[in-house]
Structure 1
Amino acid sequence: MAVDQTQTSPVAPAPAPEADVPAGRFDRIYRRLTGQALSLYATAFLRIGYGVLFLAILVREFPNRHMIWAPDAPWTADLARRMFDQTGWFSVLTLSDDPAYFEACYAAAVLVSVLFILGWHSRIMAVLFALAVVSFYSRNVLMSDGGDNLMVLMAVYLMFTACGRRWSLDARRAGRTVPPGGFRDFTATVMHNCALFVIMAQMCVLYGAAGLFKVQGDTWGDGTALHYVLKQDLFRPWPAVSDFLDGHHVMLAIACYMTVLVQVAFPFSLFSKLKYVVLAILIGMHVGIAVLMALPIFSAVMVLADAVFLPDRFYLWAARTGRRLLRRDPAPARFFRRRRTPARFFRRGPAPSH
């Protein structure tokens, strides 16, 4: 009797449902956003940068503080209160008309800025810093510009970030860079990542809107916008340089088109390495604005906001390079540190017996 010796082939496992792939992707995104605070060095750089910038404004305007923010300024506290009734703004400088109160607020703003830069009790200092920036800005909006508007927004956003976990006295005092886990750490991480996303979205909206508004203008379309900018007497600190650049019409036309292209393309370049080229062009553009149009504060505010898109490894490399230059070490700093292999891995022959 013949025996059937055929073997049954193993059954292949059923493929995973397609619905599990998006679910797994969303799960990884959720763990990334809730399990780790992102771009801690970038937010620390923003904390230091905006703190130094606001402190520089207070120091620079110290001789003129009574003309700008004091109760007896041309834009009086009563006029500011009337404007607050319409706009909903608020300023601690208008709570009292006593000159001593104003001087105390000014000194407190300077102290808060210094402590915010150093990262001393960063959570509390971030709230006080935002209050100081909003108060001084809203006290006299006639003396502000677009850079001040963005600084106010960034000061408010930084309240919700963990900007004191790096390069701060808080991190130095704690002796660690990552706080202990738990619900408090989970909440702080989620708030930090959400605020970081809002900062990035704010810059995308800003550059996208600026580029689209430029597209609607005739002067940007025909490449003559920068010609008129260089002819503004109010923004000509170096007339000879402005006239020299104005003589190169083709270069100005290319710069006009490049400005519009880069600003419109900025939100679409964030998920590729092209963003580093775009950021370099934008930073160069703001440096040109600072030099040619005498708008250093505005340019500094924009450059600091652009820096939020740089990865943490860039800040670590910059810190190592700075320390190397201070020590005058000829060895170049590396973007990625190479791990040293233990010496025992290079031993030849069998291990000695004991």
Structure 2
Amino acid sequence: MTRPSAWLSVPGRRAWALLTERPLSLYAVSVLRIGYGLLYLVFLLREFPHRDEMWGPGSPWTPALARQLFDQTGWFSVLTLSDSRIYFECCYAAALVVCALFALGWRTRAVSVLFAVVVSSFHARAIFMTDGGDNLVLLMALYLVLTASGRRWSLDARRLRTSSAGGSTGRWRPRLPPQLGAARQTLVTTLHNCGLLVIGLQVCFVYGSAGLYKVQGGTWGAGTALHYVLNLELFQPWPALSHWVDGHAVAIAVVGYLTVLLQVAFPFVLFGRLKYPVLTMLLGMHIGIAVLMGLPLFSGVMIIADAVFLPDRFYVAVARLCRRVVRRPGVPHAVSGAHAGSVPKQGSPAPLARSHP
């Protein structure tokens, strides 16, 4: 049978091979899985005392009103299937468990679907209380369903290594016929790479659109936009700190221009080394937003999303450095898997065909 890439041009065959031969950035999507799982877990724990007023039967936006809105918008939430308080408490407890399991990477493929259901359900239940950070978490939860985010730094990966070291095949399903196994491998790899591509495009769209929107504003062009932001009572968790920063007019004007420049230029610097200083400056920008404007959820969402643009060799180097730091003196350092200094092979046919993604 003719391969699908046989009729493509040389650039087309290269793109097809890049898309279907092996999953890319497995460490990066694992960071996204851990980051968003922990972030939403902390968010639900933070709002635990207010859960009934926000999402429960005691909310001013009652389940009946939410269902009426769903009939018009097509949204869905498992929280509105019953008005019982016991049902809501069980759903909340289940949501906490799902977030923890997703961050740990236990049965990641199935749990990623449950995590997307959890995020979409809480988002839809209190739709009028959401902001840009909540919207991006929802999108990322949906995109991560497509990815093989449990291949690295997860309980799934640990279980596979343990079973392989013990001589077990590590299969949780019957062995597939060769052609069907190869087709499954290609499908899983293609879905993963497509999901990764969509995540990258989404982040680029967020930064690019935000930068172009700022360019149209007169206050950003005049360098005074941050002055007005720092004087909004709604975004003043530390009024004294905001007033102190506002006293440095030249500095906040420079930061304002730099913010616009970074956001507009972001999609164009991703394929060179310039992306590293840009990502570092964006990290500082989001930390400033979290501290000065009191938007830690939004900042955390964007910081985690930026991690998708760092290569796997970066995460391997960071992991190796962390092991050296925490290693006790006199204890030999064991390197498992690939040789030190190299990225483990990503996506050989056998593990993809027999392991749980």
Global fold match (TM > 0.5): yes
Q: What is the SS of the residue equivalent to 2:13?
A: helix
Supply the distance in 2 between the matched residues of 1:64 and 1:250 (Cα, whole angstroms).
41
Can you give the 5+ residue segments of structure 2 that lack an aligned partner in the other structure?
Answer: 1-5, 176-180, 333-338, 343-357
TM alignment of 1:194-273, pairs within 5 A: 194-273=194-273
Q: How many Å apart are 1:338 and its aligned residue?
A: 5.8
Supply the distance in 2 between the matched residues of 1:142 and 1:329 (Cα, whole angstroms).
54
Supply the distance in 2 between the matched residues of 1:117 and 1:243 (Cα, whole angstroms).
38
Supply the distance in 2 between the matched residues of 1:218 and 1:124 (Cα, whole angstroms).
48
Partner residue in 2 for 1:89: 75
Instruction: Give CA-to-partner distance per residue, 1:292-320, whole Å, 9 cap, x none.
Output: 11111110001000110000111111111
Tell me the number of residue pairs that the alignment of Structure 1 and Structure 2 aligns.
315
Higher relative contact order (CA 8 A, sep 6+): 2
Partner residue in 2 for 1:73: 59
CA change 1:187–1:57 in 2 (3 A) is same
Choose 100-109 or 314-323, whichever is displaced more.
314-323
Q: How many Å apart are 1:142 and its aligned residue?
A: 2.2
Aligned partner of 1:63 among 49, 54, 69: 49
Partner residue in 1 for 2:322: 322
Q: How many Å apart are 1:238 and its aligned residue?
A: 1.9
Q: Which amino acid aligns with 1:124?
A: A
Q: How many Å apart are 1:337 and its aligned residue?
A: 4.6
Partner residue in 2 for 1:299: 299
Supply the distance in 1 between the matched residues of 2:218 and 2:74 (Cα, whole angstroms).
36
TM alignment of 1:27-38, pairs within 5 A: 27-38=13-24
Partner residue in 1 for 2:285: 285
TM alignment of 1:133-152, pairs within 5 A: 133-152=119-138
Q: How many Å apart are 1:329 and its aligned residue?
A: 6.1
Supply the distance in 1 between the matched residues of 2:72 and 2:289 (Cα, whole angstroms).
33
Choose 230-239 or 45-54, whichever is displaced more.
230-239
Supply the distance in 2 between the matched residues of 1:293 and 1:317 (Cα, whole angstroms).
33
Supply the distance in 1 between the matched residues of 2:276 and 2:43 (Cα, whole angstroms).
30
Supply the distance in 1 between the matched residues of 2:49 and 2:329 (Cα, whole angstroms).
42
Supply the distance in 1 between the matched residues of 2:108 and 2:185 (Cα, whole angstroms).
15
Q: How many Å apart are 1:241 and its aligned residue?
A: 1.8
Root mean square deviation of aligned Cα? 2.2
Partner residue in 2 for 1:343: none
Aligned partner of 1:49 among 35, 51, 62: 35
Q: What is the SS of the residue equivalent to 1:196?
A: helix
Q: How many Å apart are 1:25 and its aligned residue?
A: 2.8
Q: Which amino acid aligns with 2:99?
A: S
CA change 1:74–1:26 in 2 (3 A) is same
Q: How many Å apart are 1:28 and its aligned residue?
A: 2.2
Q: Which structure has the bigger radius of gyration?
A: 1
Aligned partner of 1:154 among 112, 132, 140: 140
Q: Which amino acid aligns with 1:212?
A: L
Kept after mapping to 1: 8 A contact 2:317/2:341: no
Supply the distance in 2 between the matched residues of 1:69 and 1:325 (Cα, whole angstroms).
43
**Does residue 164 of structure 1 match 2:150?**
yes
Q: What is the SS of the residue equivalent to 1:182?
A: helix
Q: Which amino acid aligns with 2:67?
A: R
Q: How many Å apart are 1:322 and its aligned residue?
A: 1.7
Q: How many Å apart are 1:130 and its aligned residue?
A: 0.3
TM alignment of 1:328-343, pairs within 5 A: 337=340
TM-score normalised by length of structure 2: 0.84
Q: What is the SS of the residue equivalent to 1:213?
A: helix
TM alignment of 1:6-45, pairs within 5 A: 23-45=9-31
Choose 89-98 or 180-189, whichever is displaced more.
180-189
Kept after mapping to 1: 8 A contact 2:63/2:80: yes
Supply the distance in 2 between the matched residues of 1:234 and 1:322 (Cα, whole angstroms).
39
Q: How many Å apart are 1:161 and its aligned residue?
A: 0.3
TM-score normalised by length of structure 1: 0.85
Aligned partner of 1:123 among 76, 84, 109: 109
Q: How many Å apart are 1:328 and its aligned residue?
A: 5.1
Supply the distance in 1 between the matched residues of 2:145 and 2:216 (Cα, whole angstroms).
36
Sequence identity percentage: 58
CA change 1:121–1:338 in 2 (3 A) is closer
Supply the distance in 2 between the matched residues of 1:269 and 1:299 (Cα, whole angstroms).
21
Partner residue in 2 for 1:187: 187
